[in-house]
Amino acid sequence: MEETIDLKPLALAEDDVFTALSDGHMAVLRAGRDFLYILRKDAAFFMFSHMPGSPEGGRKRLPEDEKSVAIVRNLIKIADSAYEVTFAEAMDVRGVMVSAEEGILELFPIGDEEGGADIEFVIPGENGEDEFAG
């Protein structure tokens, strides 16, 4: 099994992000220091948030309905940048997220000029919903 990911910047356009998700790829939104990873699978959005350096992160599972699509659209609007991650389906999703985050930070480091500490992705919905299993 190939264990590499393909990481490329996306335009901050809803169509580009939703196309990446429809193709089975991961979309990564970044707002300053905060990262939000989105996967679309089994008629649901799986979202994981993480702040680099933090031992913890958050996760949500939202049904793929009109309300959730609107939530994703609003998250795209507040993001500073977006990325598409292509990876083999058999790969560990957490490992993919770590590799993507490290790659993004290597290519686009967090500078002191970024005001990212003031922005944090908050996903409405119930806390602690289903953990993504592959």
Domain ranges of the chain: 6-110
Mean pLDDT of 8-14: 93
> Pick the residue with more confidence: 76 or 134?
76
What distances in angstroms separate CA 85 from CA 29, 57, 117, 124, 129, one per listed residue?
11, 19, 24, 24, 23
pTM: 0.83
Please compute the mean of the pLDDT values over residues 48-59 and round it to a whole number.
90
Q: pLDDT per residue over 68-108, tens digit each?
A: 999 999 999 999 999 999 999 899 999 999 999 999 999 88
Q: What does the pLDDT read at residue 110?
A: 74
